Each structure stands twice: as structure tokens, then as C-alpha cells.
């Protein structure tokens, strides 16, 4: 069933059930919007997308109004433009006038709207709300003064992540968004994923800044400052410099880091390869013994906190492997320090991550060396690194690609795909399969676990055994699959869980969307994933266990996967983190 409507005197035919906003997009009319986000429920709160429909006395929100046959819509009449301008001004009037010093990197949706709507003067300015800043959390800062109450953070936290940490409190102009009873974020059920910061159109939620500490370390001659970059950084960092989405930028990122003054640049992918070695070993062990199955992956630190908070009874199923980041950091402060003859305390490890939860992870006591120092000293999000590069005056697009330092800079393609949903599982299957059969894989790509939109399941045959695997990204999806496991509906062997939509490529620390694009836009996530799969495809070594440096590491240092040494250095444990008041 299709219907016809007139938008700005242009006739458009759309399927029944299309909203006015969607219909307008079909003829290249992008109605301004603010609270709307494609993947979240409709709030209808900002009213910026109002349009005039002939015969209706009031304007209607085009995001929420279904186009009906014969509708005559005007998206840009003078009265509509004035209304939109005034609405944006009303938001601005209750928002700090500190754009010049705001952490938002010039990609502020409110600022862009104000410019586009032509708000050149303040007609209605008056009192402005005042709220304290909550910087209690290790990962995100909540600044309610910058909040424009679009409810995106509330919706992403509830709908995509299933955490429901954020809600509105008080009412009217006193409305404030925060955790229950406006408790400190550090005392809330927050799992630190940073999706609130990701979807925030302003800077009401933003990652805890680590750049100052990193600048300081870089300037300290006594420190040997090393960087490691996560797989998904290379797939997204280009967007921060207005390069087309989906361009792999491994080499230029390495060069940029060297220019910033890092003494060595390593690849978290190496840690990923190592993770696969350990995790595959762990999996085979459990599979053979048929105990503690399904094995739940543990790379995503947001997911790990979610598990500890909401599914503590399932902790025994989680892989005891540390995340690739921490594995690499551990090696940097042990293996690498020994090789280089450095005092581990003088090594300053900066991890460039797509993630704000990693900022929390590095502070966990489990991830500290025996002398109490953290294995990873600082975590920078992709956004923070982009800012540092810009602040340093480096023209990213002109850089020559560089290579990672040895020996912890070489990785297999299996490490690269860690950044996309299904990647960890695929990488693990590549290694586990060959380990079980002793035969090289005929088909190396397990495409059936790629590009999971919500929950994806597959059964793969390994050594004559049917292995039930599942992939979930976004914690609401994780919840769905965990509930299925708990209910005993289906017997799984291996489940990959990632906190963020699309996996790490959709992490809470990735560059803000370019103008006119959505955060978590499926197309952008797909382009970023494609970049990682492309890197994998073009690599000669595509299986973790075939990484020669990994083999050497085991030979020289760790022994074998699952050895006592490996266990001490590369594995961790979890404990329940009950939400306050719940036991």
C-alpha cells in the first residue's frame, strides 16, 4: 500500500506507515531535528521538526506523524521557520553561553541548529538553570547545565543498553536527568559504556578527560610513554578529521601518535590475538569437560560490568581472560620492560580506545600490578585523540602511514575484526577449530556471525561436533540471550557479547557523527566494520595462532596458553556488583 502526499509542493509516494519526516527525506528535504534518533523510540520532546499540515490547527512533529494520503505539508513556510528559530532560541536561552570553551568538538548539534535556524539574537533570554557537575564517575561526566532534556541518553540507556540508569527528576524547567534520586554517577548502576555521551547532542554527558594526564606524561622525560590502539580506532578516527567514513587509518594514526611524542606505538590487536589464544584454550577445555558452558566472552568492559551488576549468577560462565587492552598493557610492563631493560614503573601506557568503560576498567584492582600501579595508565577515547592531534597542529590527512613498533605491534587479521560485532567469536572459531581438528580451515570466514543487528545465532560444525554460537551487541540484546540461557531454552557453547551497538566500532568514545549523520547510524557502523574486514582480508596472517610473534611470546615468556604464567598475567576474576540497595 502506498500513499501520496505533497511536501513543499512536491508530490511524493511512500509506503503506508511512513512518517512525514521520512517521506520528506525521500525528496531531499531534511527537516531539522534534535531529539529524534532513528534507532530510539520517539520522544517528540524538542518540537524542532514541526511542520504545517493543511487543515491542522497546530503544527505537528514530523518525526511522529504518519503521512496520510492526500496530506499537504509545508516544511519551510515563514511561520514554520520562525517557530523553529524560536524553539531553538528557547533551548539556547537555558543553556550555558560557553560554546568557546565547551568540550564538544565543534560538532555540537545545538550549535549547528542555532546557526542553521538563524538564531542571531536572544529575544527571550532570562534566568538560566544551574546545576552542579557530577564528575564522580571514572568514565563519564554529567553536566546537567548543558542538558537540553532531549531524553536521548535516557532512551539509549534504557532501550539499547537495558540499564535504565538515567531518568528525569523534578519537573518543568527544574527537570534534570540523572541516576535515581540524583545519586552520584559513581554510585549508580551505570555500566560506563558512554552511550549517553555518544548520543548527547551537546556536552551534558562527556567522557572523563584524560588528555591532561597524557600531555603531562608525554612532557615528562623520565617516562617511557607508549601507546596502544584498539582495532576499532583505525576504522573510525578518519571521521574525526572529516575523512570519509570507513577509510582504514592504521598507518596515519601510528604516525600521528609518534608525532605527539609517544616513545613507541603498539597494536591492541596483538593483545587480541593473545586473547584468542587464551580464550580458545579455555573454550576447548570447557567444551571437552562439558562444564561452564556457554563460554561468555569478556573483552568488552561495559559488558563485564553489566554482567557483574545484573547477572552475577552467570559470572562462572564468563571467560577469565583479561581484555586485549589489559593483556597488552600487562605485557608492556613485564615482557616489554624486561626486553627494553626498563623499570615497569617508568613505562606510561596510554590506551586509545573507542570506549569510556575502559577508563573504568584500568582502575579496577584486578588490573593492577602487584605493586598496586595500574597496568594501563590512561585511556583516551578516539575523540580525545582526535582533539590532541588537532591541538598539536598535526594535519592528519597529510601524514605518511607509519608502522607499529615491534614486537607487540604485529597482529593477525583475526585481531582486527575484534572491533566489529561477531569478530571475537569469528577469531576464536578460527583458532579453536584448527586446534580441535588439527587441520587448516577450508573456509576461514565465519560470515554467519557477522553484522548482527540484534542477536545472531549460528551452529558451526567443528571436528564433527555442532557448536551453537550466538552474538549480541547492545546490552538489551545481551539481556535477551542471557535470559534465554537462564531459561534453558537453548544450549549454547560460545556467546560473544559486546556492550555497544555494532561492537567496539559503535563505542561510546568514537567520533561524533558528521553533520547531518546519526550517531549509531547503521550505514556508518557498516562502513567501519567493512574497513576492519577489509584489513583482515588483505593480511597474510589471519589466524591468531599463526601470528609468529605470538608464538615467540609463548616460547620465550608465557609457556603455553593456559600455563600458570599466562594465568597469572592474562587472566582475571569478577565479582558481583549489586546495584545499591539490592542483595
Partner 1 sequence: MAQESARYTELRARLVEPYEARHGKIQCVIKVGSATCELAAGAESVKEEFLKLVRASGRDDIEIKQTGCTGRCAKEPIVGVYVKGEKPYKYEQVTVDLVQQIFEHHILRGEALHPYILDKTTQNRYSYVVTMCSTICQPDSGIDWSDVFQDRLLVNNVDPAVIRVYQGGCMGLCVDQEERGKSMSMLVFPQRVTYKFSSIEELDAIIKCHFVDHQICEMYIAELDPLTNRFLSHYGDVAFFNRQTRITLRNSGLIDPDSLVEYLRVDGYASLAKTLEAKNRQDVIDTIAKSGLRGRGGAGYPTGKKWMAAHREEGSQKYIVCNADEGDPGAFMDRSALEGDPFSIIEGMTIGAYAIGANQGYLYIRAEYPLAIKRIENAIQQARAAGLLGAKILGSSFSFDLDVRLGAGAFVCGEETALIRSIEGERGQPVIRPPYPTQRGLWGKPTVINNVETWANVAPIILYGADWFSRIGTATSKGTKVFALAGKVKNTGLIEVPMGTRLQNIIYEIGGGLKEGRVLKAVQTGGPSGGCIPVSRMDTVVDYESLRDIGSIMGSGGMIVVDDQDCMVANAKFFLEFTQDESCGKCVPCREGTLRMLEILERIVDGEGTSEDLNKLERLGHLIKRTSLCGLGQSAPNPLLSSLEHFREEFLAHVEEKQCPTQRCKKLVRYEVIATACTGCTLCAKKCPVSCIRGSLRQIHHIDPSRCIKCGECYKVCRFKAIAKH
Residues that bind partner 1 (CB under 8 A): 42-48, 50, 57-59, 61, 64, 66, 82-83, 86-87, 90-91, 93-94, 123-124, 126-127, 148-149, 151, 167-168, 170-175
Sorted by sequence, the CB contacts under 8 Å of residue 269 that are 6+ apart come out as 231, 324, 411, 412, 415, 416, 418
| Residue 7, beta-bridge partner list | 10, 73
The alpha carbon of residue 485 and the mean position of all alpha carbons in its chain are separated, in whole angstroms, by 25
- Smallest separation (angstroms) from partner 1 to the CB of 515: 21
Task: Decide if 282 is catalytic.
Answer: yes
Give the cell for residue 265: 606505538
φ, ψ for residue 470 (rounded to 5)? Answer: -150, 155
User: Please, are residues 469 and 494 in contact by the beta-carbon 8 Å criterion?
Assistant: yes
Angle between helices 78-93 and 109-117 (to 10 degrees): 140
Active site residue: 82, 313, 366, 556, which one? 366
Which of 435, 429, 474, 483 minimizes the C-alpha distance to 452? 474
Give the cell for residue 512: 561524533
Other beta carbons within 10 Å of 4: 13
Task: Decide if 279 is catalytic.
Answer: yes
- Judged by DSSP in three states, 369 sits in coil
Task: Decide if 378 is catalytic.
Answer: no
| Residue 227, beta-bridge partner list | 265, 350
- Smallest separation (angstroms) from partner 1 to the CB of 170: 8
Task: Decide if 426 is catalytic.
Answer: no
- Smallest separation (angstroms) from partner 1 to the CB of 81: 12
Residue (56 or 392) nearer to partner 1, CB: 56
Residue (94 or 563) nearer to partner 1, CB: 94
Active site residue: 361, 384, 434, 496, which one? 361
Residue (148 or 385) nearer to partner 1, CB: 148
Active site residue: 46, 49, 108, 504, which one? 504
Active site residue: 52, 146, 333, 358, which one? 358
Which of 195, 187, 185, 108 minimizes the C-alpha distance to 146? 108
- Smallest separation (angstroms) from partner 1 to the CB of 74: 13
Residue (35 or 455) nearer to partner 1, CB: 35
φ, ψ for residue 422 (rounded to 5)? Answer: 90, -15
Task: Decide if 358 is catalytic.
Answer: yes
Residue (59 or 205) nearer to partner 1, CB: 59
- Smallest separation (angstroms) from partner 1 to the CB of 169: 9
- Smallest separation (angstroms) from partner 1 to the CB of 201: 13
Sorted by sequence, the CB contacts under 8 Å of residue 177 that are 6+ apart come out as 142, 144, 147, 149, 151, 153, 154, 166, 167, 168, 169, 204
Residue (121 or 212) nearer to partner 1, CB: 121
User: Please, are residues 344 and 316 in contact by the beta-carbon 8 Å criterion?
Assistant: no
Active site residue: 89, 103, 145, 282, which one? 282
Give the cell for residue 171: 519537573
Task: Decide if 361 is catalytic.
Answer: yes
Other beta carbons within 10 Å of 430: 25
- Smallest separation (angstroms) from partner 1 to the CB of 175: 3
**Residue 347 to residues 223, 361, 408: CA-CA distances in angstroms?**
6, 19, 15
Task: Decide if 150 is catalytic.
Answer: no
Residue (87 or 217) nearer to partner 1, CB: 87
N-term to C-term CA, the chain? 53
List the catalytic residues.
Answer: 279, 282, 299, 319, 358, 361, 366, 504
Amino acid at each position: 500500500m502506498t500513499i501520496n502526499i505533497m511536501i513543499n509542493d512536491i508530490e511524493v509516494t511512500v509506503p503506508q506507515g511512513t512518517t512525514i519526516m521520512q517521506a520528506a527525506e525521500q525528496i531531499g528535504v531534511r527537516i531539522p531535528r534534535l531529539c529524534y534518533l532513528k534507532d530510539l523510540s520517539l520522544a517528540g520532546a524538542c518540537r524542532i521538526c514541526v511542520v504545517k499540515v493543511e487543515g491542522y490547527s497546530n503544527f505537528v512533529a514530523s518525526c511522529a506523524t504518519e503521512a496520510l494520503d492526500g496530506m499537504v505539508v509545508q516544511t519551510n513556510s515563514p511561520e514554520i521557520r520562525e517557530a523553529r528559530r524560536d524553539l531553538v532560541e528557547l533551548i539556547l536561552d537555558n543553556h550555558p553561553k560557553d560554546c568557546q570553551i565547551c568540550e564538544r568538538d565543534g560538532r555540537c548539534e545545538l550549535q549547528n541548529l542555532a546557526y542553521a535556524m538563524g538564531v542571531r539574537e536572544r529575544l527571550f533570554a532570562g534566568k538560566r538553570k544551574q546545576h552542579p557537575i557530577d564528575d564522580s564517575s571514572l568514565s563519564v561526566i554529567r553536566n546537567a547545565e548543558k542538558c537540553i532534556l532531549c531524553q536521548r541518553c535516557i532512551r539509549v540507556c534504557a532501550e539499547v543498553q537495558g540499564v535504565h540508569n538515567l531518568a528525569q527528576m523534578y519537573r518543568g524547567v527544574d527537570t534534570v536527568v540523572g541516576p535515581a534520586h540524583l545519586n552520584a554517577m559513581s554510585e549508580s548502576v551505570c555500566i560506563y559504556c558512554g552511550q549517553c555521551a555518544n548520543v548527547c547532542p551537546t556536552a551534558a554527558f562527556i567522557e572523563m578527560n584524560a588528555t591532561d594526564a597524557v600531555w603531562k606524561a608525554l612532557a615528562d622525560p623520565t617516562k617511557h610513554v607508549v601507546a596502544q590502539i584498539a582495532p576499532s580506532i583505525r576504522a573510525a578516527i578518519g571521521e574525526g578529521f572529516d575523512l570519509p567514513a570507513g577509510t582504514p587509518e592504521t598507518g596515519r594514526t601510528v604516525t600521528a601518535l609518534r608525532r605527539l611524542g609517544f616513545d613507541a606505538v603498539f597494536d591492541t590487536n596483538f593483545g587480541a590475538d593473545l586473547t584468542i589464544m587464551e580464550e580458545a584454550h579455555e573454550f576447548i577445555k570447557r567444551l571437552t569437560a562439558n562444564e561452564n558452558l556457554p563460554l561468555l566472552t569478556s573483552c568488552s568492559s561495559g559488558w563485564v560490568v553489566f554482567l557483574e551488576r545484573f547477572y552475577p549468577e552467570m559470572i562462572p560462565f564468563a571467560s577469565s581472560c583479561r581484555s586485549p587492552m589489559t593483556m597488552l598493557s600487562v605485557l608492556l610492563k613485564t615482557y616489554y620492560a624486561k626486553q627494553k631493560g626498563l623499570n615497569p614503573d617508568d613505562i606510561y601506557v596510554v590506551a586509545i580506545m573507542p570506549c569510556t568503560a575502559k577508563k573504568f576498567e584500568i582502575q579496577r584492582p584486578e588490573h593492577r600490578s602487584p605493586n598496586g600501579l595500574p597496568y594501563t595508565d590512561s585511556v583516551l577515547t578516539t575523540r580525545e585523540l582526535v582533539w590532541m592531534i588537532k591541538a598539536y597542529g598535526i594535519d592528519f590527512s597529510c601524514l605518511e602511514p607509519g608502522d607499529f613498533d615491534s614486537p607487540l605491534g604485529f597482529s593477525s587479521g583475526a585481531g582486527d575484526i575484534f572491533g566489529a560485532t561477531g569478530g571475537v567469536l569469528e577469531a576464536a572459531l578460527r583458532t579453536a577449530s584448527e586446534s580441535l581438528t588439527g587441520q587448516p580451515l577450508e573456509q576461514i570466514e565465519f560470515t554467519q556471525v557477522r553484522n548482527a543487528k540484534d542477536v545472531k545465532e549460528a551452529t558451526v560444525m567443528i571436528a564433527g561436533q555442532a557448536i551453537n554460537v550466538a552474538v549480541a551487541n547492545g546490552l538489551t540484546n545481551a539481556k535477551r540471550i542471557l535470559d534465554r540461557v537462564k531459561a534453558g531454552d537453548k544450549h549454547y557453547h560460545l556467546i560473544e557479547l559486546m556492550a555497544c551497538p555494532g561492537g567496539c566500532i559503535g563505542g561510546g568514545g568514537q567520533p561524533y557523527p558528521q553533520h547531518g549523520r546519526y550517531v549509531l547510524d547503521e550505514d556508518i557502523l557498516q562502513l567501519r566494520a567493512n574497513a576492519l574486514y577489509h584489513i583482515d582480508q588483505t593480511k597474510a596472517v589471519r589466524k591468531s595462532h599463526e601470528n609468529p610473534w605470538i608464538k615467540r611470546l609463548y616460547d620465550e615468556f608465557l609457556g603455553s596458553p593456559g600455563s600458570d604464567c599466562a594465568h597469572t598475567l592474562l587472566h582475571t576474576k569478577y565479582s558481583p556488583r549489586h546495584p545499591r540497595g539490592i542483595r
